[in-house]
Structure formats: structure tokens, C-alpha cells
Amino acid sequence: MAAMRKRFASVCSSSSAEEDSAGLYDSAAMSVSDPASEQEHPYASLLCCHSVQDSLLSSNSSFTRYRGILNWIIILLVLTHAHLFLENFIQHGFLIDVKKVFQHLIEDYNTCSSVSLILGANIFPITALLLEKSQEKGILSHANGQHLHLVNLGLLLLCPAAVIVHEPATSTGGAFLSLWLYTVLGMKLYSYQEANRWYRQAHLADADKDHNGSAAQKAHSEHLTCRDLYYFLLAPTLCYQRDFPCTPKVRINNLLHRLLEMVIVIQIMVGIVQQWIEPIFQRSEHSFSSMDITMRVEHLVELVAPTHFLWLLVFFLSHSSLNFCAELLRFGDRHFYGDWWNATTLIAFWKNWNIPFQKWCHRHVHTQLVGENVPSSRAELLVFLMSAAVLEYMFALPLCNCRLWIFAVMMFELLVAVFLRDYFQGNYGNGLVWLCLLLGPPLAVITYFHDHYISFHHGHPSPSSPLMSDHRLPSTFLLEPQ
């Protein structure tokens, strides 16, 4: 009897080892077909049917095939929001009207100052090119050239702000477009002059070694052309270099595909704003700063879902537009974002959300600070503070409503990222990231648009918005009075 138990134990242990690698039923079948096992006992594989293993949904399990659960979640979300859309349609009717967008765009008093700003932006890159050529020819010293570049960049950043503040006829959509264009242009021109300075220093060093300064100077001056500069300004990147990687040809099918994506996404965004977000704004009579806490929470909860969908659509629109531009220019580097949706920490999300901006910050801010003996952690903090300030500036100025809510929310997310990263890891960390995206900066941004809409329609500017004008149109020309 003892010998029989020993044989069963040995068979069970071997069977258990096989199950860990091949699965329960596979190892049972293998044991049945094993002649050695059949000689010991014909039912050993059926008697030993347990092994040490984790449940599939436990955190220790290596199971990753959740496609069925993902399909279930997608179907549930579609059915849930179809119900919300039907309820919205029954209550408010069909509110989507794309004509309002085009009517706003062709109004003269709304577009004149914005068009002037956009056309006038060409002055600054031409000035930067002339300064680079002057330094190349020895007309300007390095120090004087750097000072004039900084003056040019300072005027570039002040110009749209001055026009938006002092020109009440500028529409909100035009103000946004002008400010974002000037901000991107400023970052590109800063990279342009910095990179050319590095190239110049490298060529001077090579000339000293090879005693062939004229050849190095000629090679450098060949790239100081309007064509090279404007290719960089139109390319979907913020960091300048010579000889960008290019694809062999423009793929027309890919180009048309991206264009169709942009058209469809813009229509969906207009529909979400006019059909879903605007009715919530219309039920408000006060700005968020003057609401009581209960009403404020109620409105924020109502705005979470449409704001999050709108934010995801903005990301997809960026994906389509950047790839469209890259395809049109045959620009080869199309690594515009990483897999931020899999990020397990907020820091990982920030590093993968906007790769061109991260490259620019690392190349021209973080590396320079570290080169000045600033600790790397402090340099990263300064880069993050700069990013939060720029985001606040680019939304607060066109809406003439600076309350530092976006900046404050990003600071709160920084605290969450620092103090909770050891407690939320893996899937829990990814869940925390998505929670912060739902309740983070996009929701803070929509509160700015809410208060701007209320100020426009009720005719009483917010106390913290002394620059608000009755001529300023609401929320990027998508929200119109009914």
C-alpha cells in the first residue's frame, strides 16, 4: 500500500510539473499516452488533476488575453452612450449645424486681425535667416547675433499677446489659431538658431583640424536658404537638423486616407460640442468660480464623458494631421507619440504623449540645464513647470480668463506621480493614469470654455476676466446661441 502511494505521488509530481508548462488537459493527455505511466497505474493521470497555479484575473497570473473583456467593454460603452445620445436628442432636438462654423470663418470682423497675425508671422523666420547669414559672413559677432535672435523671439511671443489683448474684434478661434501658431514658430526658431550655432562651432573645429575653413564655411552656408528654413517650419517637428530623413515618394492613397480621417474627426468633434457640451453650458447661469460646491461637482460630472471623448478625438486629429503633413513633405520621422495608453505612471504618460515636444524640451532645455550643472531631477521639474505654464498661457490668453486652474491641476498630478507611484504599479498604475486623464487638465480646460460661454451669453464678464469683450465669440466658434 505504501509503495502504491509512493508511485501515485511520483506520478502526480511529474504530472504537476508538466501541467505548469503545457496546461492541465494537455498534460493529462500526455500522461495517458506515456507507457511508463500506464505500467505503474492506468488511472494515475486521472487521479492527479491538480497543480499549483493562479487564477487568471489575479495580479500574479501571466495571463494577457483580455480581448473578449475589451470587446464587452466597447459594446457596453456604445450602448450606454447611445442611450445618452437618444435622451439628449429627445430633450434638445438635433442641434448640430456645421454651417455655423463656416459662417463664423467668413465674417470679416472676426478674421481680419487673425489673418494679419498669420501673414505677419513670416517676418520673424526671415529675420532669423538674415541673422544666421550675417553671422556666417562675419558681419555679426556670435554674441551680437545671439542677442538679436533673443530680441526677435521676444517680439514673436509678445506680438500675438498684444493683438489679442488690445484688439476686441479678434474671435476666439482666430486668437487660438494665432497664438498656437506663434508658439510653435517660436519653438522652431529657437531650435533653428541653436542648431545652427552648434553646426557653426563643429565646422570651425573641423576647419582648425583640417586647415580648410573655406570648404567648411561653404558646406554650412549651403543650408542657410529660405527653402531649407520653410521646409523645417512646415515639417511636423520642433527640432531642427540638416538633411531630414525622407521617404522615397508621396503615397497618394495614404494622403487621401489621412485627409478623410481629419474631415470625419472634425465633424464628430463639432457634433459632440454642439449636441452634448453646449446644452450643459446652457443650463448654467453662473461661472464655476461663483457656483456652490454641489452645483460645481454636478456640472463637472456631466462634462467628464464628453470632455474625455473630445480629448481623445483631439489626439486622433493630431495623429491624422501630423501624418498628413509628413506624407505631403515626405518627412520620414513619424514617431509622434509612444504607447501612452499603456503607461503605468504619469511620468511615463508625459514622456510618450507628445514626442516632438519632449524631444525639444530634452534637447534645448533639459540638456542645457544639465550642462550648467543643474541636477537632472531639478531640470526635469523645471521642464514640467515650463510645460504647465505654456499650456495655461495658450488657453487662458485667447479666452481672457486666467485662473491658473490648468496649472494647478498639473501640479496636483505631479504630486500624485511622486507620492503614489510606489503604491500604484502595473495595471493599478495604468488605471490611475486613466483616472487622472478623465479628471485632469482636459476637464480644467473645459471649465475655461464654460466660463467664457457664460460671460458671452449672459453679458456679465467674470470678475477675473476684465479683458472680456462682448464682441468675442464663444469657445472656438463651435458654440453658438440657439
pLDDT, tens digit (0-9, with 9 covering 90-100), for 297-345 = 888 888 888 899 899 999 999 999 999 999 999 998 999 999 898 888 9
Candidate from 28-32, 209-213, 277-281, 446-450 with smallest mean pLDDT: 28-32
Q: What is the pLDDT of residue 315?
A: 93
Q: What is the pLDDT of residue 286?
A: 79
Q: Do 392 and 406 meet the contact criterion of CB atoms below 8 Å apart?
A: yes
Across the range 386-407, mean pLDDT stands at: 88
Q: Render the burial of 8-45: b for 16+ CB within 10 Å, e for the rest.
A: beebbebbbebbeeeebeebbeebeebeebeeeeeebb
Q: Do 350 and 391 meet the contact criterion of CB atoms below 8 Å apart?
A: no
Q: What is the pLDDT of residue 36?
A: 47
Q: pLDDT averaged over the chain? A: 79
Q: What is the pLDDT of residue 99?
A: 66
Share of the chain above pLDDT 70, in %: 76
Q: What is the pLDDT of residue 87?
A: 72
Q: What is the pLDDT of residue 423?
A: 85
The better pLDDT of the pair 191, 17 is held by 191
Share of the chain above pLDDT 90, in %: 32
* Rounded Cα distance, 382 and 375, in Å: 11
Q: What is the pLDDT of residue 280?
A: 85
Across the range 243-260, mean pLDDT stands at: 92
Q: Residue 331's beta-bridge partner residues?
A: 246
Q: Render the burial of 308-323: b for 16+ CB within 10 Å, e for the rest.
A: bbbbebeeebebbbbb
Across the range 352-374, mean pLDDT stands at: 92
Across the range 271-296, mean pLDDT stands at: 82
Please tell me the pTM assigned to this model: 0.77
pLDDT digits (tens, 9 = 90+) for 89-147: 776 666 666 666 655 554 444 567 778 888 888 999 999 999 999 888 888 888 888 89
- By C-alpha distance, which of 361, 403, 400 is closest to 381? 361
Q: What is the pLDDT of residue 111?
A: 60
Q: What is the pLDDT of residue 386?
A: 92
The better pLDDT of the pair 130, 459 is held by 130
Cα–Cα–Cα angle for 148, 150, 155, nearest 5°? Answer: 95
Count CA within 13 A, CB hemisphere, residue 459. Answer: 0
Dihedral-angle region of residue 477 (phi above 0 means left; psi in -120 to 50 means alpha; beta otherwise): left
Q: How confident is the model at residue 420 (pLDDT cuts 50, 70, 90)?
A: confident
> Is the confidence at residue 224, as pLDDT, over 60?
yes
DSSP classification of residue 331? B
Q: Of the spans 167-181, 218-232, 396-410, which averages the highest pLDDT?
A: 396-410
Dihedral-angle region of residue 400 (phi above 0 means left; psi in -120 to 50 means alpha; beta otherwise): left
> Is the confidence at residue 183, as pLDDT, over 60?
yes
**DSSP line for 248-295:** SS--HHHHHHHHHHHHHHHHHHHHHIIIIIHHHHHT--S-GGGS-HHH
Q: What is the pLDDT of residue 28?
A: 39
Q: How confident is the model at residue 240 (pLDDT cuts 50, 70, 90)?
A: very high
Across the range 371-388, mean pLDDT stands at: 91
Candidate from 59-63, 340-344, 353-357 with smallest mean pLDDT: 59-63
> Is the confidence at residue 212, as pLDDT, over 50?
yes
* Rounded Cα distance, 248 and 289, in Å: 55
Domain ranges of the chain: 2-47, 110-234, 249-477
* Rounded Cα distance, 352 and 344, in Å: 12
φ/ψ (deg, to 5) at 109: -70, -10
Q: What is the pLDDT of residue 421?
A: 82
